[in-house]
């Protein structure tokens, strides 16, 4: 059932079952982080490999000490600046954190989400919530309750409806190796904003660069429809004989007889607005009658770099 009742959600979680929670980034499929049955249920519902670790969602900055055994100064600075918000920190784990959550690693990923409903829920619980995005493994992340229902309608007792995600793109994941600050996943929070607090960071966001960062599959966030990414949609359509095309463009409408549907993500060219609309547009075209989807590359700055990384993964062909 879709509800805004956090008492109901709390009851279900206390029984060891799963609940979908809204966050500012994407919806999460949540369970008790201290209950291995609940954690196993998350992996099996998502069909997610156990080698891909989960993020622990906590209610406060103070609670971080219950999850992490060591918190570097730079991590403290980042958490103080950006929590609650779209930043996930990878830190040495406390022994109480299950190996199932961390895929056997000695680090745990943790964040404090910025959503009133979910923070109120976390405050009612005496455990944190593990929550991957609420989509089957590899597919597009949900940014509203309807997306979740499309994936898991019959499998869930409670979907907590917090409206449309205000950001609509996953958190940025940051870790600490020796004294180095390392970014494992590009996300909502741009590198520039992180560097303004802790100085320069190293990007290790592909399995080829960093086999330690699971979940950085080359194909991810992918629509079911055949999808392409190009800097110049017009030229791409002239060079490739595609028909019944759905185009997702950044700012400007593109005119071509090959295009049967088009979504302009932000006519005023605002990266945040465009990012918020991106997954929704992908879901919409996946369910529509278009035969394929052509994405226009985003401007290569700030959040645009994150989106281009996601679009590259979304348009990587199935092996």
Binding site for ligand TXA (CB under 6 A): 23, 25-26, 28, 52-55, 86, 88, 90, 102, 105, 107-109, 113, 131-133, 170-171, 173, 184-185, 213-215
Query: Per CB under 5 A, does 172 bind Mg ion?
Result: no
DSSP 319: -
Least separation in angstroms between CB 177 and Mg ion: 23
Least separation in angstroms between CB 221 and Mg ion: 8
CA distance 157 to 148: 12
For ligand TXA, the closer CB: 107 or 262: 107
Q: Which partner, ligand TXA, Mg ion, none, binds residue 299 by CB below 5 to 8 Å per kind?
A: none
Least separation in angstroms between CB 135 and ligand TXA: 8
CA distance 113 to 216: 21
Q: Report the Cα 85 to chain-centroid distance in Å.
A: 13
Q: Residue 150: left (phi > 0), alpha (psi -120 to 50), or beta?
A: alpha
Q: Which partner, Mg ion, ligand TXA, none, binds residue 128 by CB below 5 to 8 Å per kind?
A: none
Q: Which residues pair with 158 in a beta bridge?
A: 19
The residue of the chain with the least Cβ separation from ligand TXA equals 215
How do 180-185 and 172-177 pair as beta strands? antiparallel
CA distance 154 to 226: 27
Burial of 103 (0-12, 13-18, 19+ CB in 10 A): middle
Least separation in angstroms between CB 18 and ligand TXA: 13
Least separation in angstroms between CB 215 and ligand TXA: 2
Least separation in angstroms between CB 170 and Mg ion: 6
Burial of 274 (0-12, 13-18, 19+ CB in 10 A): buried
Q: Which partner, ligand TXA, Mg ion, none, binds residue 54 by CB below 5 to 8 Å per kind?
A: ligand TXA
Q: Which partner, ligand TXA, Mg ion, none, binds residue 258 by CB below 5 to 8 Å per kind?
A: none
Least separation in angstroms between CB 94 and Mg ion: 24
Q: Which partner, Mg ion, ligand TXA, none, binds residue 173 by CB below 5 to 8 Å per kind?
A: ligand TXA
For ligand TXA, the closer CB: 42 or 294: 42
The residue count of the chain comes to: 319
Q: Which partner, ligand TXA, Mg ion, none, binds residue 185 by CB below 5 to 8 Å per kind?
A: ligand TXA
Using CA atoms, how far residue 172 sits from 17, 64, 89, 229, in Å, is 28, 18, 9, 22
Least separation in angstroms between CB 57 and ligand TXA: 6
Residues with Cβ < 8 Å from 76, sequence gap 6 or more? none
For Mg ion, the closer CB: 10 or 142: 142
The strand ranges marked E within 38-148 are 55-57, 68-70, 87-93, 107-111, 129-130
Rounded to 10°, the helix 191-198/73-82 angle is 130
One residue of 23, 32, 118, 133 binding Mg ion per CB under 5 A: 133
For ligand TXA, the closer CB: 175 or 246: 175
The residue of the chain with the least Cβ separation from Mg ion equals 133
Q: Residue numbers of the site for Mg ion (CB under 5 A)?
A: 133
């Amino acid at each position: 059932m879709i509800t805004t009742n956090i008492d109901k959600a709390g009851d279900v979680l206390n029984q060891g079952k799963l609940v979908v929670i809204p966050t500012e980034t994407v919806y999460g499929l949540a369970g008790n982080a201290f209950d291995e049955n609940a954690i196993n249920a998350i992996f099996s519902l998502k069909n997610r490999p156990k080698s891909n670790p989960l993020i622990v969602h906590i209610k406060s900055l103070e609670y971080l000490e219950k999850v992490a055994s060591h918190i570097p100064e730079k991590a403290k600075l980042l958490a103080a600046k950006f929590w609650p918000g779209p930043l996930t920190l990878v830190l040495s784990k406390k022994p109480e954190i299950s190996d199932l959550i961390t895929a056997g690693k000695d680090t745990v990923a943790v964040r404090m989400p910025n959503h009133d409903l979910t923070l109120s829920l976390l405050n009612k619980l005496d455990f944190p919530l593990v929550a991957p995005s609420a989509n089957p493994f590899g597919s597009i992340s949900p940014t509203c309750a309807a997306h979740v229902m499309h994936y898991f309608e019959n499998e869930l007792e409670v979907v907590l409806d917090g409206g449309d995600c205000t950001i609509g793109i996953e958190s940025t994941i940051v870790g600490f190796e020796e004294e180095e600050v390392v970014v494992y996943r590009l996300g909502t929070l741009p590198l520039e904003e992180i560097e303004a607090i802790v100085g320069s960071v190293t990007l290790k966001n592909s399995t080829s660069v960093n086999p330690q960062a699971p979940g950085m599959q080359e194909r991810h966030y992918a629509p079911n429809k055949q999808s392409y990414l190009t800097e110049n949609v017009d030229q791409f359509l002239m060079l490739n004989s595609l028909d019944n095309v759905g185009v997702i463009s950044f700012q400007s409408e593109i005119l071509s007889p090959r295009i049967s549907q088009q979504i302009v993500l932000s006519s005023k060219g605002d990266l945040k607005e465009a990012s918020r609309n991106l997954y929704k547009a992908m879901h919409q075209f996946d369910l529509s009658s278009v035969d394929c989807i052509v994405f226009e590359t985003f401007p290569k700055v700030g959040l645009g770099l994150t989106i281009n990384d996601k679009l590259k993964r979304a348009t990587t062909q199935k092996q």
